[in-house]
Structure 1
Amino acid sequence: MNLEAALIEHASPTLVGLKPASLFRVSPTSSADFARQFLHCRTQLATLGLELLILKGCRKRSSYLLYLYRSRELEALLKQPEHHAFLQHMGYKAWDNVRDCLRQLAARICLEQDFPHEIGIFLGYPLEDVTGFIRHKGRNYTFCGCWKCYGDPRQARLRFERYHRCTELFRRRYAQGVPITQLVVAA
């Protein structure tokens, strides 16, 4: 498993700054190799203003849920009054910083039976899509792409096309030997 390739495949819109965060699962064949790659990538990305976390991990199954985010952008997003109020309504306690809020999210991922749908806020999904998904239980969406949308389908399609073009470009450049650190747009 190559963690850099997984970042390119699943987090290019975050690497370039189109999204504040990305979430993806990796299942490495070697825990030791994964740990080495994870620490290397985390250190490299931190110098560019991005944070890489393990939100949930299972060594027994060798499966990890990774979260890549742009700290400033995520903090600004979570401080927006409508997002803050929504998260409080969903049971999040007051937080002083992004890390505190992410700890609460990680605990909810690990402890709750259902996946916490408010995670969409942490990934930069529009609030109307997150609340629409919860309200309609995943049905009656107006457009389905990277996630189910409940607002303007034209805007959603355009957003997803930008994400797809970004990922395609990053895949191509990475395959040509361009290092991930040169592809990232620094935060």
Structure 2
Amino acid sequence: MSQQAFWLFLKMDKRNLFVQMALQCAPVLAGIKVSNLLIIEERYWKELCFLLRNSEMCARKLYRCRDKITLLLYRREELEQWVKTLQVEALLKEIGYDSVELHRIFRKLEQRIGGHGNGEMPFPHELGLLLGYPAEDVRGFMGIGYKKCLYTGYWKVYEKAEEKIALFSEYDRAMDLALSMAYERQNILKLKEVFEVDSREKKLAV
């Protein structure tokens, strides 16, 4: 987050749904990530469903704790393609997922998250795969292969650090644009279009 975006954020209503979506979900809203987690008060659930009804975005409840819910905000087609990529599918099957159909992945993941919440199971770090984290980094974080962490950004990086640092910069840019839109009360679901225009302008300026 840039300093300018930070100062805008300080002026905004932190409870506003668009502000929270800008803060937590800018990369997926910008179309450069398959999904993001969104943690909100449960009373905002119906409002979120209404906002998303005619959009490319989907929301899935993963966990509820007191008055808050943890959701996966995702682009269905992109996420379906992602979990079927060779490395992601292989790791999912390695850790107990017998199918890469989204509804079956969600069902098992929700069971594991619930088990963790009840203190019965370890945290399901495969959630990182559903968030679009590269399989090699999820493997590294889980201790599979005993690799050294090279960088910590939106997740811990174990391979191709330079490439992922550049990607994290794009995520930061998406957040800056999203917060600016939220501050100006623009429809944050239009972030993908705004991000694409901003990207073209940056290329022309080089």
TM-score (structure 2 length as normaliser):
0.77
DSSP-derived class of the 1:72 partner: helix
Q: Please name the residue that 2:165 is paired with.
A: 157
Structure 1 CA distance, aligned partners of 2:147 and 2:84? 29
Change (3 A) 1:172 1:101: same
Q: 5+ unaligned residues in a row in structure 2: which ranges?
A: 1-14, 194-206
Specify the structure having the higher radius of gyration (Cα).
2
Which of 32, 50, 59 is the equivalent residue of 1:18? 32
Q: Which amino acid aligns with 2:61?
A: I
Contact 2:60–2:71 under 8 Å retained in 1? yes
Aligned residues: 175
Q: Percent identity?
A: 29
Contact 1:138–1:148 under 8 Å retained in 2? no
Structure 1 CA distance, aligned partners of 2:72 and 2:172? 19
Structure 1 CA distance, aligned partners of 2:34 and 2:73? 8
Aligned-pair Cα RMSD in Å: 2.1
Matched, 1:64 2:83: no
Q: Please name the residue that 2:62 is paired with.
A: 55
Which of 26, 35, 46 is the equivalent residue of 1:36? 46
Q: 5+ unaligned residues in a row in structure 1: which ranges?
A: none
Which of 67, 88, 109 is the equivalent residue of 1:83? 88
> 1:25 offset after TM fit, Å?
2.1
- After superposition, give the CA deviation of every residue in 1:39-84 in whole Å (9 maximum; x if it has no partner): 32342xxx222101111113xx212111101111111111112211
Change (3 A) 1:157 1:39: same
Change (3 A) 1:85 1:137: closer
Q: Which amino acid aligns with 1:35?
A: W
Structure 2 CA distance, aligned partners of 1:6 and 1:161? 20
